[in-house]
Structures are given as structure tokens and as C-alpha cells.
Structure 1
Amino acid sequence: MTTFQKYCRRGVAVAVLAAVPLASNAQQVTGGGQTASQRHAAAAALQLPDITVFGTFDPNVRKATAIVNGDIITDTDVDHRLALVMIANSGNVSHEEKEVLRLQVLRNLIDEKLQIQEAAQNEVKVPEEEVEQAYSRVAANFRQSKEAFEVFLRENGSSPASIKQQIRAEITWNRLLRRKVEPFINVGDDEVQAVIRKLEEAKGKDEFRVGEIFLSATPETQGQAMADAARIVEQVRNGASFVAYARQFSEASSAALGGDLGWVRAEQLSPALQGIVTALPRGGVSDPVPVPGGVTVIALVDKRQVLSADPSAAILSLKQMTLPLPDNITEAEARKLAANMQEKTRNMGGCGKADEVARSIGAAIVSNDQLRMGDLPQQLQQILGQMPIGAATPPFGSAQDGLRVLVLCGRDDPPANANVPSFDQVYGQLNDTRVNSAARRYLRDLRRDAVIDYR
């Protein structure tokens, strides 16, 4: 999250001791009553060697510990939350980057404290059962039981308590916004209808599935926010999880969803982002972009046309042939097998012959009649999207998985207007946008009024 200058102004330096020559006859008296020569003699009596101090030093945050309106954030809290970021990066973070992330994590924890404190003052409570249920869902996302996930977190330097604290802050903050902010947000029916009319007029134009990371900033902290966002972009482009960074550092309400904004048209975004989103490739991440109130980074998850049939929503009926490869097979031998497999499947006469052809080449075969096009790898989507019914893909696979061929037996395309948003969906999107803006102002005011003591 970006630096709030009143409370945290980052400046990292390497401290090096330098000798200051003293005049031999100087007899200056210090406030403590000792002359300079007396103090010099006392220091000499300690027999201190010449030293060089290595490492980083921040004059404002001497330790990654803070007291927020009386509530303590410990070094352990920061370490455990930082470990979650390291997990998202598979540990591939330099020492210098880790120190920067540590300060960002601390600022994030401060905001969580402020959110939980404000919720408590307004008697907003979240039952522990609800937190545990959300924690179980997180563990399930990692395909682990709660017990196994706890072991995984501890082995990687984090803890269940750190994730539960983040979950608790998200739930309480959202409930507080529903109580104190959302009732005062007004979205008129005419506004909703206007959006729907624009969608109908934009039929056939591109719309985008976008993820965002928003870092708030004042004019004074804009440069620092841009630098923080640039580091996030670098990590994501090197393989880190955009979703994980959005959850940890984004200040938008979409952070709880991993930054997911859903499907939007370019004109629904900030003017500064409109040209950028249209130029991004699928899976691409933008450079940091200055926007009103801060800095935004966007990622393009997917792309489709407004009110047109979405090819990725097509339901496919497929047969898959799998030909295992011997452990000691050479590349030349594998290519020969792939060429033979392609020759056998290219003109086999459709799905009715697939089982017979599979037996003739020693391949296993399985069927799937409910596979969504969008769930396949992008390369296969491009191939299958152009194939007629009964055709087979070229062989693909690996030494471990063997050679595979998909035979297209059927395809159910969605209706052209399947993605028309309902009145309630449009209303919800407009409402969420305004709640999000009000929430940022709310949190800004909490930061301004907070008493934060860095230790």
C-alpha cells in the first residue's frame, strides 16, 4: 500500500561511521559538563575498534513494529504476513525487495487495525465460526485440509492467525461499509437504463475481464506510490501471483476478490486506462498508471465482444486419446510416434472411429461431454475454435504425461445475448463503484486521525 506521509516516510540508507578529527588543544564543553578531550579519553578507554555498520536503516521506522491507537503490531505479525507474499512469489524475492515489501506489509496491517477498530466502535461483530468457514475455503483453494494447510503455513514462516486476521478485517470492513456507507449511496433507475442502452449500442465491441491493484496517494506521495507499484509489476511479470498481490496491497474494494473487476468496457474505466486495456494482450500486466487519488496497475484476464456469443462459454463434447511414452524414449522416437498418431487420427472419420483408432495405436481413451472451452489452455482453445465437428487436434503432451489428441464430437455455442447484464447486475456494479470510492475516503480519514507510534 502507498505511503501516508504523515505517518510513514520511507528513507533507506547504509550507515557508516566516520572519524571526526579533533583539534589537539580543543577544550569545548558539552551540555553534560565534559570537555571534548575528556569524552575522547573515555571513549578510548572502552577500546572500541574501528567499525563499519552494514545493513539498512530507516530513520522513521526503526523496527517493523507499530502501535495503532493503542493496538500493537509486532515483528511476528509482519513476518507472518510477509511470508504469505513470499509464498505467492515462490520465495523468489531479493533481499532489497523483501525490505520494501516488509514496509508495505506493515502499512497494510496498520490499515487492518484501523478498519477493525472502527468496526468495533460501531459494534460490528463477526462470529469466529464465519472466520473459520472462510479460512477453510482458503485451505480448499490450496487443495489441503485445514490441518495440512496449517502445517504448510508454519513450514513457510506464516501462521493460520495471520490469514484469519486478514479475513476478519475484510469481513468487518465490508459489513461496516454496508451499515454506514452503502445506505447513503444512490443509484437511479435512469442511470441503470442508460448503461444498458449503451451496452446495446456497443454490441459487437470489445469488453475486457480486468484485474486491478490500486494504491492511494496524495500529490506528495505520488512518486513513492509509483515506485511501489513498479516493484509489484516487476514481481508479477516474473511469475508472482497478481491475485495474491491484489489481496495484500490493493486499496480498492476489489482486493477481497483478488482485484477482479469483472467484465468492463474500455469507456467504463478511468480515461487514463482506456487506451492501455485495449492494447494489453491476454494475461498482460500494465505499467503503473497515475489516476485520480493514486496509482493503478491493471491485468487483462480475458477479452470478448459485447452482447456477442462468447466462444469461451461453448460447451464441448470431446474424446481424449492418451499414448504413454517409455521412460528412456529419445526425442526423435517421440516425434516419430507423434507423427504416426497424427496420421492415424487426421482422417479417421469422426468420433465413431475414435475407439477403434485408439486401440490400434495402443492409446487409452476417455470421454467428456461437459467441458467448457474457456477451461482449456489458450493454445487448445485457438485450435478447437477453428475445428469442424469430428476433427482431431495435433498431438500434444510431454514425456511425463504422454502424447494426447482431442477429438471434437460436438459443440454447444451460447446464444448471442447470453452475456447481457440484468438490471440488478448493472445496478450492483454502479453501486459497488460508488461504495468503493466512499470507502477510500473513509479509510483516508481514519489514517488522518490515527495515533500511530513506530517503535
Structure 2
Amino acid sequence: MMRKTGINIVTIKAFSKLRTPLMALGAVTLAASTVPFVPAVAQNGAPTTAAPGNPLGLPDNVTLLGDVSPNERSATAVVNGYVITGTDIEQRVKLVTNASEAEVSDEELQRLRSQVLRNLIDETIKIQAAQAQEIGVEQAQIEQTYSQLAAQNFGQEANAMDEYLESIGSSSNALKRQIEGELAWENLIRRNISPFVNVAAEEVTGVLERLEASRGTEEYRLGEIYLSANDENREAVLQNMQRIVEQLQQGGSFVAYARQFSEASTAIQGGDTGFLRLATLPQAMADAALQMQPGQLVGPIAIPGGYTIMYLIDKRRILTADPRDSVLSLKQISLDLPQGISEADANTKVAEFGTYVQSLRGCSDAENATAAIGASVVSNPQIQVRQLPEQLQTILLNMQVGQATPPFGTAQDGVRVLVLCGRDDPEDDGAPTFQSVMNSIEEERINKRAQRYLRDLRNDAYIEYN
């Protein structure tokens, strides 16, 4: 389950709270409380006086106004001389907790802080190693990556991500530091590992032959969170995993938790294994996956070396076209219901809407819905079936061009239908190319060596904990 190393920046679910209530990243510097100024007074009530020779005229005894430490800078670890502060940890924790739909308990927060500290230590070690080898990351590259990320989530609003990060209790600097760590790691792998990984042609040919023999069998795309365990800590690790499952079931972001907690190489992709065959998994994981449906979470499952939590993202048949890869052209007709409408009136409007939809003679008629019933019409000429809610996928795959789905929605969100205006079916999937298989094998080997390389860097680092 080794995957290609990539930029560990944010989770899909996390960013779902960026622009709307569906995106979340994290970063804000805490501002000191505003308090009225009063003369400093010593404990005995007498005004304090400046010490002789004090160039700033500061009193011997200072009375602080407001919060004593609004921007805490106490060190929690020092890595080869680089200080990691409590503020660094808290701002990074916000990247995870803000992605959770449920309130995070104090116990969970403490556990998360410990994991974030470990991540920050690794991140610092990577940055320092790259700088020592004179392949450190240029500030311009960090800024470019940050700007690209902001553009993906906020469009042309250049400062919107800065403001958002501050609004949730983190900062742009926290995210930029994370970007620097990932880019530095890429540089280290590119110099010290990738050039020394080789794959023989016979290995690639063998994989292609096995794939052809497996044509039509299912492969699974999983999310995984793995923690190692031994006889001494097995019970504690199991309890830890059970708490993670509870948080995920309450709405926590699987991607965020995988990135911060998982010890598998897939942590960098938020736990995403990509599509794989069950034969490549430990038996306990394979047995569980067979019983799962997309969107289902199971675990913790005991496997050799520790425990894993599994989330089934998707499944498909090897080298076989999947109807859900069909690309549809759709028109969505939406009718908002008045706020506070009674159930009876709502049912009447839904029935009228349904009658109108049944009278449509194809996509060309859909545009008339605005004038006819006051509905809004939105076109999407290219959307893959698998991108739609699962309840609608089967309905749309069984529809003919010009037909509409049954009405769906709620009184709050309004009622809507999708009209099918076109469909491009996928071609049969051929076997992967020789080069793509070779790249996949290389990536797996690179990731294994990268894990060992990071372990060696940790062993050589001088770390002080406070």
C-alpha cells in the first residue's frame, strides 16, 4: 500500500469549509485582548518607579494587562537547535480539528497535539536535511504553491485564504511551513533515493500478465489509517484506534486523521491506497473489504504489526469498462419553496412541479421552466456518473436522453430534478502500459526506501523535549 509521495497540504473535506460551510484548512494568529490602560501599581498599592540607569524607564515590577500569554511562544521541542513552540502546534492542530463536524474532546485534542508535535519534528528534520545538502526550498517556490492552493479554493480572491486561516485559529505561516516540509522531502527523495531505484523489464511483464489473468475481477480503492503495535503497547494502541473511529463516525475528516495519525506510507495521500486487488492485502483486510460498500467505515482491524481502520472509497472491475465512468450532460431544474411553508402546501407545490417535469419533451423544454413555474435551470455538460450521489447513479444509468429523474430535495433546500441531455459511455479499459506499471513499481520502492531514510534522519537528529 505504498503510494507516491506528494504535497501534504489539506484534506478534501478540510477545504470543503473554505468558501462555504463545505471547506476547511486552518490558520490564525491569536490577537491580544484589548483592555483599558491603567497606571501600573505595585503589590503594596504604591506606584512603581524606574530602576536607576534603565534606558527605557521601565518599572522594577511590571503589571501585565489582559491575558498573560495571548500568543504563547513556549518551546515544546528543540530539533537540532530549531524551536517548535506551543503556538506552532496549536495552529497546526486547527488544520485537523476544523475539518471535523463534531466537537473534539479535550482528551482527543491532547492526543492530537502529541501527534502533531511528532509531525512537526519530522517536518523540521526534512527541512534541515535538505538545507544541509544545499537543496533547500526557495521562498518563491513556497509562495507559488501557496498561491496555487489559494486560487483553487478562492478563485481570484488572493487574500481570502489568509483571512480564512486566521478566522479558524491558525495562520498562513503554519501552512507555508507545511508546504516547505513537503517540498524539501521531495527534493531529498529526488536526489538520494529515486536515482538508485531500478525495475527490471521481466518484473513489469509479469505484472501485466497477472493483470490480464485477473480481467473482470474486482479491485478496491481504500482509505486506511494504520498504527503499529507490539505486546507492550497493543492495548493502548487499540484504545487509540477506537477513539479515532468514534471521531470519524461523528463527522471527523478521514483524510485529515489519516494524514496526522497513520503510520502507513499512504498517510501523505490522506490514507488513499488507490485501486488495488484484495490479494495484495493482509487476509483480515481483504475479508473485511469483501463485505463493505462504498462509503462504509470499519475497524480497528488487527493485522500483522498493528491495527488498521478502513474506509471503502470505491471499487471497480479490472480491465473492464465501468458504467459509472460515463460522462453525462445534465440540466438541473430547481424550485425553491417559501420559508415556513406548511407541509400541505409543500406537497401541493411538489406535485405541481412533478406534473410539469413529466410534461417536458426533452432538454430544450427545460429552459422554459423559469418562465413557466419560476424554477431555476443550471446546465452541466460534463459530469461523470460516479461524481453524483449514489442514489441517483443507478437511476441516471437506466434513463434515456430527454428523460428526467424523479423529484428530490427537502423543504429547506427546495425540490429539483436532473434532465439527461447526453451520455458518452466509457470505452473498454485496456491493460495499463508497460511504462505506467514500471512507474508504479518504482513509486512503491521509492516510498519504502523513503521510510527507512526518514528513520535514519530521526536517529541522527538531536531532539530536546520540554
* Shorter-chain TM-score tier: 0.7 to 0.9
Q: Does 1:79 align with 2:90?
A: yes
Gaps of 5+ in 2: 1-73
Q: Judge which range, 126-135 or 177-186, deviates more.
A: 177-186
Matched with 2:439 is 428
Confirm or deny: 8 A CA contact 2:217 2:318 kept in the other structure: yes
SS of 1:158 mapped into structure 2: coil
CA 1:396–1:94: 2 relative to 1, 3 Å? same
Distance of 1:175 and 1:270 partners within structure 2? 32
Question: Could you say which residue in structure 2 is the equivalent of 1:10?
Answer: none
Q: CA contact under 8 A between 1:348 and 1:357: conserved in structure 2? A: no
Indicate how the Cα distance of structure 1 residues 185 and 275 shifts in structure 2: closer, same or farther if over 3 A, else same: farther
Is 1:157 equivalent to 2:169 in the alignment?
A: yes
Which of these residues, 92, 102, 105, is aligned with residue 94 of structure 1? 105
Which secondary structure does the structure 2 equivalent of 1:365 belong to? strand
Determine if contact 1:105/1:248 at 8 Å carries over to the other structure.
yes
Asked if 2 retains the 8 angstrom alpha-carbon contact of 1:320 and 1:367, the reply is: yes
CA shift, 1:354, in A, is: 4.0
How many angstroms apart in 1 are the aligned matches of 2:294 and 2:446? 29
The CA deviation string for residues 344-387 of structure 1, in whole angstroms up to 9 with x for no partner, is: 43364443544567754443434333222222222222321222
Q: Which amino acid aligns with 1:446?
A: L
| TM alignment of 1:287-436, pairs within 5 A | 287-292=299-304, 294-346=306-358, 348-355=360-367, 359-417=371-429, 420-436=431-447
Larger radius of gyration: 1
**CA–CA distance in 2 between the matches of 1:433 and 1:279?**
27
Matches of residues 198-347 of structure 1 in structure 2 within 5 Å?
198-216=210-228, 220-292=232-304, 294-346=306-358
Give the total of aligned pairs.
392
Q: Is the 8 A contact 1:350 1:391 kept in 2?
A: yes
Structure-2 residue corresponding to 1:182 = 194
Measured at CA, do residues 439 and 266 of structure 1 come closer, stay the same or move farther in structure 2, by a change above 3 Å? same
- 1:274-317: CA deviation from partner (whole Å, max 9, x where unpaired): 22223222122331344455543332211221112222221112
- The equivalent residue for 2:19 is none
Match of 1:28 in 2: none
Alignment-derived partner of residue 453 in structure 1 = 464
Residues 333 and 369 in structure 2, CA contact (< 8 A), matched pair in contact too? no
Specify the alignment match of 1:117 in structure 2: 128
Match of 2:449 in 1: 438
User: TM-score normalised to the size of structure 2?
Assistant: 0.76
Checking the alignment, whether the CA contact within 8 Å between 1:68 and 1:452 is kept in structure 2 is yes
SS at match of 1:170: helix
Identity of aligned residues (%): 47
Segments of structure 1 that go 5 or more residues without pairing to the other structure are 1-62
Is this contact kept in 1: 2:154–2:160, CA < 8 A?
A: no
How far the C-alpha of 1:247 sits from its partner, in A, is 2.7
Higher mean C-alpha displacement, 205-214 vs 221-230? 221-230
8 Å Cα contact 2:328/2:382 also seen in 1: yes
Distance 1:136 1:261, change over 3 A: farther
CA distance in structure 1 between the aligned counterparts of 2:80 and 2:104, rounded to whole angstroms: 32
Q: Does the CA contact (< 8 Å) of 1:251 and 1:440 recur in 2?
A: no
| Alignment partners' CA distance in 2, 1:156 and 1:369 | 36
Residues 176-221 of structure 1: per-residue CA shift (max 9 Å, x gap): 1222122222222222222222222222221222223344556644
Report the Cα distance in structure 1 between the residues aligned to 2:225 and 2:153, rounded to whole angstroms: 23
Q: CA RMSD of the aligned region, Å?
A: 2.6
Asked if the contact 2:77–2:83 (Cα under 8 Å) also holds between the matched residues in 1, the reply is yes
After TM superposition, the score normalised by the length of structure 1 is: 0.78
4+ runs deviating over 6 angstroms: none
The farther-off stretch of 441-450 and 172-181 is: 441-450
Equivalent residues of 1:252, 1:440 under 8 A apart? no
Which stretch shows the higher mean deviation, 124-133 or 399-408?
399-408
